[in-house]
Chains A and B, each alone.
Chain A
Amino acid sequence: MRSPRYLITTVVAALALLLAGTALLKSVHERVRAARTAEHLERGNALARNGRLVDAVNEYHAALALDRDHRPTRRALAMTLLSLGRFPEAESYLRDLQRDEPTDGVLNRALARIDVALGREADARAAYQRAIYGEWRGNALEERIATRFELIDYLSRLNARDDVIAELLTLKAELPPEQIAAARRVAELLTNLGERALAIDLLSARALAAPRDVELLIQLADLEADAGRTLDARATLERAVALAPTRPALVDRLAIVNRVLALDPTLPRLRLVTRMQRARLVLAAVVEQTRACHDSAQGEAATAWDDATARLRRPAPGNAEAADQDMALAARLWDAAAACHSASPDARAVAQVIQRIEGATERPS
Chain B
Amino acid sequence: MKRLTVLPLPRPPRVTDTQRFLLLSICIGIFAGLLVVCFHFAIDLVAWSTLPTLAGAARFVTVLSPAVGGGLAAMLVLFVVHEAAGSGLTHTKAALYISDGYVPFRTVGAKFIACAAAIGTGNSLGPEDPALQMGAGVASLLGRAFQLSREHLRLIVPIGAAAGLAAAFNTPITAVLFVVEEVIGSWNASVLGSIVLAAVAAVVTSRWFLGNQPLFRVPGFELTHPSELLLYGIVGLVGGLLGTIFVKVLGRLRGRMSDASPFWRVLQPFAAGAVVGAVGLFLPEIMGAGYGSIDSALHDQFDWKMLAVLGLAKMAVTAVCFAAGTPGGMFAPTLFVGAMIGGSIGTLASLYWPVPSSPPSAYVLVGMGTFFAAVFRAPMTSVFMVFEVSASYVIILPVMVANLVAYLVARKLNPVTFFDMVAAQDGLQLPSQERQREERTLRVEHAMQPPRSGVTPDPRLPIVYPDEPLDRALRLFRSHEELVVVSRQDATAVLGTLTISDVLRAYGIGGRSPSAPPAIAAAPSSVGRPIDPTAAK
Which chain A residues have a beta carbon within 8 Å of chain B's beta carbons? 1, 7, 10-11, 14-15, 18-19, 21-22, 25-26, 28-29, 32-33, 36, 40, 43, 55, 58-59, 61-62, 64-66, 68-69, 88-89, 91-93, 95-96
Contacts and interface: CB of A to CB of B under 8 A. Distances in A.
Interface stretch (B81-89, B128-136, B212-220): B212-220
Nearest to B24: A11
A19 B295 CA distance: 30
Given A33-B44, A36-B48, A55-B55, A22 B34 contact: yes
A32 to B, nearest CB: 6
Minimum-distance CB pairs A-B, first 10 = A92-B299, A62-B53, A88-B300, A29-B41, A65-B292, A25-B41, A89-B300, A18-B34, A58-B55, A59-B55
Contacts of B142: 11
Nearest to A27: B41
Contacts of A66: 48
B497 interface: no
B145 interface: yes
A66 B47 CA distance: 10
A32 B27 contact: no
A91 B361 CA distance: 12
Contacts of A18: 31, 34-35, 38
B30 interface: yes
**What DSSP secondary structure best describes chain A's contact surface?**
helix
Contacts of B38: 18, 21-22, 25
B245 interface: no
Most central of A1, A29, A69 by chain B CB within 10 Å: A29
B161 interface: no
A68 B292 contact: yes
Given A40-B53, A43-B55, A92 B298 contact: yes
A7 B55 contact: no
Contacts of A10: 145
B299 A89 contact: yes
A7 B146 contact: yes
Contacts of A43: 55
B456 interface: no
Given A18-B34, A58-B54, A61-B54, A95 B219 contact: yes
Residue with the greatest number of chain A CB neighbours at <10 A, chosen from B142, B209, B298: B209
Interface string B390-404: 000000000000000
29 contacts: A10-B145, A15-B27, A18-B34, A21-B38, A22-B41, A22-B209, A25-B42, A26-B37, A26-B41, A28-B41, A29-B44, A29-B45, A32-B45, A32-B48, A55-B55, A58-B54, A59-B55, A61-B54, A61-B301, A62-B53, A62-B55, A64-B295, A68-B295, A69-B213, A88-B359, A92-B300, A95-B219, A95-B220, A96-B217
Nearest to B30: A15
Nearest to A12: B27
A33 B48 contact: yes
B217 A68 contact: yes
Contacts of A36: 48
Given A33-B48, A64-B295, 6 more contacts: A14-B31, A25-B42, A28-B41, A58-B54, A61-B54, A92-B298
A253 to B, nearest CB: 56
B296 interface: yes
A40 B44 contact: no
A80 to B, nearest CB: 13
B147 interface: yes
Nearest to B208: A22
B388 to A, nearest CB: 18
Contacts of A21: 38
A249 to B, nearest CB: 53
Nearest to B33: A22
Nearest to B142: A11
Contacts of A40: 53, 55
B282 to A, nearest CB: 14
Contacts of A29: 41, 44-45
Contacts of A89: 299-301
| Majority DSSP secondary structure for residues of B touching A | helix
A185 to B, nearest CB: 36
A65 B31 contact: no
Contacts of B296: 61
Contacts of B211: 69
Interface in B17-39: 27, 30-31, 34-35, 37-38
Interface in B351-389: 359, 361
Contacts of B295: 64, 68
A19 B299 contact: no
A14 B141 CA distance: 12
A119 to B, nearest CB: 13
A8 B411 CA distance: 47
Contacts of A22: 34, 37-38, 41, 209
Contacts of B41: 22, 25-26, 28-29
A59 B298 CA distance: 19
A1 B34 contact: no
Contacts of B213: 69
B219 A19 contact: no
Contacts of A95: 219-220
A26 B361 CA distance: 31
B55 A11 contact: no
Contacts of B34: 15, 18-19, 22
Q: Which of B48, B53, B142, B146 has the most CB of A within 10 A?
A: B53
Contacts of B44: 29, 33
Contact of B209 (A26, A59, A93): A26
Interface in B166-216: 209, 211, 213
A18 B38 CA distance: 9
A317 B146 CA distance: 127
A14 B296 CA distance: 39
Contacts of B301: 61, 89
A207 B146 CA distance: 88
Interface in B42-101: 42, 44-45, 48, 53-55
Nearest to A30: B41
B215 to A, nearest CB: 10
Contacts of B299: 89, 92-93, 96
Contacts of B30: 15
A1 B292 contact: no
Nearest to B293: A65
A186 to B, nearest CB: 36
A55 B35 CA distance: 38
Contacts of B53: 40, 62, 65
Contacts of B37: 22, 25-26
A286 to B, nearest CB: 62
A33 B298 CA distance: 23
A1 B361 contact: no
Contacts of A59: 55
A1 B55 contact: no
A31 to B, nearest CB: 11
A33 B146 CA distance: 39
Contacts of A58: 54-55
B391 to A, nearest CB: 12
B14 to A, nearest CB: 13
Contacts of A33: 44, 48
A43 B295 CA distance: 22
B275 to A, nearest CB: 22
Contacts of A68: 217, 292, 295
A251 B263 CA distance: 99
Contacts of A92: 219, 298-300, 359, 361
Most B Cβ at <10 Å: residue of A11, A14, A61, A65: A65
Interface in B113-166: 142, 145-147
A25 B211 CA distance: 15
Contacts of B35: 18
Nearest to B347: A88
Contacts of B48: 32-33, 36, 66
